[in-house]
Amino acid sequence: MATPTTEMTETLGKKPEHTPEQNPKPKLELESEPNKQTEPKTPCPLFIETKQRCLVNAEQLKRYSTPQELPTDTRTAPDLDIGFGQQRALKALETAFNIKASGYHVFAAGENGLGKRTVISRLLKRTAADAPTPDDWVYVHNFTDPRTPLALRLPAGRASLLQQQVNHLWQQAKKRLNQRFRSDQYQSKIEAIKNDTHQKESHAYDVLNAEGKQYDLTLTFRSFDNKAMFVHPSKLATENGDETDINPTDSHSNTPSTRKHTNTSNTSNTSDTDDTHGHKDSENDYSHNHGYSEHPNTEYNRSEHESELNNFIKKNHMQKRLSQLTIALEQLEDEANDTIETLHRDIARRALQPLFAPLYEQFSTLPKIIDYLKSIFADMVTHVERIVNGDDEEFVTAVLATIPSRYAVNVIVSHSPNSGVPVIFEDMPTHLNLLGHVEQITQLGTVTTDVSMIRAGALHRANGGYLLLEASHLLEHPYAWQGLKRALQSRKIKLSSLEQMITLTGSLSLAPAPIDLDVKVILLGEADLYYELLELEPEFDAVFKVRADFHDDVVRTKEHELALVAKMADIIDYAKLYPFDNSAQATLLEHLSLQAEDQNRLSLHSDLLIKLLHESNRHAHLNEKDIVDAHDVIQAIDDMEERSGYLRDLYWDEIKSGQQLIQTKGYAVGQVNALTVVSYADSEFGLPARLTAVIQPNIGNGEVLDIERDVDLGGSLHAKGMLIMTSYLRSLFSQHHNLNFSASLAFEQSYAHIDGDSATLSEACALLSALADVPINQSFSITGSMNQLGEVQAVGGINAKIAGFFDACREQNLTGQQGVVIPMANVKHLMLRDDIIAAVKADTFHIYGVQTLSEALTLMTGLPIDTVNKKGRYRKNTLFGKILGRLMLWDENQNGHDDLDEKDQSDKEPSQKTSSDKVTTQKDKKRRKAKRQKKKKDREKRKREQEKESNNNVAIENEKNVD
């Protein structure tokens, strides 16, 4: 690394270490130049001419609005045009709204704060009022399949009416049924049915008892279990003597209703056996039970045995007859119950029919509603006993309701007749809020739900109309986009359990019938989000086929200024602020041009305008005025800048204390004051930054090291600008001489990320200054982009950049020589502060607009840049001529060093030379000789080409003169 350092000191004008005898080459003009750190004593005529041509007048620094051309105050402002400045977006919206095909939904693209939602909402409300009102929707109990509630459509305003009528119907039905079932007439009919059944049972028992008496048996009932049985009269007397509780059939203590259970339980095994088997089995059982053997001892025992066996057989026969009678009596009891149930239904029909008739007539044009009312009627008739008893949960009034959920009419969406179509904005578009959900209630540890707990979503409320959603909010919630997409594609709203989708469980819940969907959805978002959705969501373009672009600004004309004043008046009226006079209106319009960064455009950001109006109104209130003027607006702007200026103040403190090295006077080689914009959150301000270039001669082939890029502090746009600048420099000098150097560029004391190509022009100036060893006037600061042809292009943040350097110069005292070099294309973007304009008018600060790199370099160095002589060569006093001279000087110095090395080798005594030295010396001699011959041929070739080009130019000029 020793050699580059030495060579670099030579380029700065220091004496070479070798003697003139060692380097007999004549010195170029570069070496005879005066000290570059001082200002040239005699300005170049081209510099004076360029300075005058590029100077920007004070009248070009800001465009003012004339208060006299504006309304006296906002109370006299014209009416607001809703679509002001957004005709392209409104046309796209109109196209989408007029097409009823699937997928014609809208993505409204534009920056946040433009007022997209306000514009669209006002437009829709104006057109929606005259549109036909959509139908109402209700969910009701499905009596066929309770798990799938029915969705019913009704004309606008009829859903609430149906709900009221059904609620009233329930109250009247319950009251009337209770009256009917508690009336004396009903009780007498029930008694008649019971008495008739009792008589039939008593007659049957009497007939059976008479039959038993033929067998000397009596039918009786045991009192402790009411069981019927046949006994011998003698046993009946004995058992009565033994206090056995047995009642004969003529006892009136047993009613037919109490005997039914006894008879049913006494249906014995013998009922299925025939008489033969019964007789034999009974005989065997009787013999076995009484201990008789096959060989009786006496005749008396045989006779007694036969008598008892005969009695047993008779008794068993009568028990079978009793079992048959029990079955008959059960059928009789069922018939009685059927008769009572028929009576109940007849009573219910007669009681409910008058209540339902008016509803049938009222909804006669709606067949599905009539079917539903008939289902309610049939269900009430079928379950009339449960309704009257009131002991069944399904027929008891639900929690927080006035009617059992079984008969509840759940109004999902209802509209007033002739109210137009709905315009809904959902600020929290979760899956549940969009598609609706089914609520649940926990009672005594049991989770239940019913049709009355179905809740509508935004799609239900907007059905038939328009739904506005923030795209970024929609994508924040899981499954919300999938649910919306599915609903729009199927054109149906189907409620689904989000819990099942997330947990993948199969818990039982309601599955309401889907509702037909007819809605236009407008997504609001920035353009970047739109492009991301197009890339990442394949079906997005199929659902949202229309894009409505909202503009950030509008052309600044008198008509548009009046339209913006009308917008101000609308905001002022809505917020109930003080009126603004024409001076305040003019100041606001000028600030909107500043925000648009263009004299000929006005920003349309509604958020900024609303903020300014409110804060200006505050200052007018503090100043005890009833109208807002320009002074109040300026105070509000200053307050807003002060609030967001904390970071800016930290930077300025470093500049004031000398921690940030900024030089606004004098000259320096390879050093430029570049202009930057610092953006952080809502804070944006301009600052000067020192940009330096360093050259390493005879190393490399014209490579330029971008230090910011190599340490990952430079963005891709910054790297692009650096490559463009490098390519341009190669095209300037590579055709004249080899680029036998390398360079490095860096923003000094910069520790943050840098991006953008606005430093391309300043980087080119710093690098060319270092190559030519020509100082740059530090009184100037420069910004601008540059293309490969050397043309200067516009950059952003120009007003903040100029203000940043002006504040730095004012901090270090204005000398009258300081100024800013900007692209000429940026002059129309200037909306500078009034104090900067005053300094320009006082000739203490200057602003220059350039179109080419040569103009910028002329202003910065005071030298001509690329003028050529008759031979087409750069003149020695030009910047490019000095660069070529230095390139050749470095080449000659390198050759001089090679000669010195060769002489050192030849001065050695033969005895001191080793064999390796001899071989190396011979190789070096051949290499240097070949190199010199090649350079000589290159110079001769370039000379011939230049002479040929010069001759051609002379010939062309002669032809022109002849013509």
Catalytic residues: 758, 801
Count CB-CB contacts under 10 A for residue 743: 24
| Paired tokens of 890 | 């470095």
d(CA 545, CA 538): 12
Structure tokens, 762: 């300043």
Amino acid letter, residue 640: M
Token output for 260 = 């039914």
What is the DSSP track for 280-313? Answer: HHHHHHHHHHHT--SS-S-HHHHHHHHHHHHHHH
Cα(214)–Cα(210) distance, integer angstroms: 7
- Residue 575's nearest CA partner among 509, 623, 539, 628 is 628
Give me the DSSP letters along 849-891: EESBHHHHHHHHHSS--S-B-TTSPBPTTSHHHHHHHHHHHHH
Parallel, antiparallel, or unpaired for β 150-154 and 136-140? antiparallel
Place of tokens 């009704």: 154
Element (DSSP H or E) covering residue 125: helix 116-128
3-state SS of 155-187 is CCCHHHHHHHHHHHHHHHHHHHHHHHHCCHHHH
Q: For residues 161 and 163, what is the distance between their CA atoms, to the nearest angstrom?
A: 5
DSSP 635: H
The answer to whether residues 229 and 239 touch, using CB atoms and an 8 Å cutoff, is no
Q: How many angstroms separate the CA atoms of 545 and 762, rounded? A: 46
Nearest to 265 by CA among 314, 236, 226: 226
Beta bridge partners of 555: 601
DSSP type of residue 68? G
Q: And the tokens for 731?
A: 């095209």
Residues near 265 by beta carbon (within 8 Å), at least 6 away in sequence: 227
Report the DSSP pairing between strands 792-793 and 775-777: unpaired
Helices 275-290 and 299-362: crossing angle in degrees, nearest 10, is: 130
Instruction: Name the token pair of 358.
Output: 């008016």
**Cβ-contact 479, 431 below 8 angstroms:** yes
Q: Quote the tokens at residue 955.
A: 């010939």
Distance, in Å, from the CA atom of 668 to the CA atom of 235, rounded to the nearest integer, reads 144
Tokens of 146: 């309770």
Residues in the chain: 963
How do strand 106-109 and strand 741-747 relate by DSSP bridges? unpaired
Q: How far is CA 853 from CA 36, 702, 787, 799, in A?
A: 21, 19, 10, 21
Q: How far is CA 903 from the centre of its chain?
A: 77
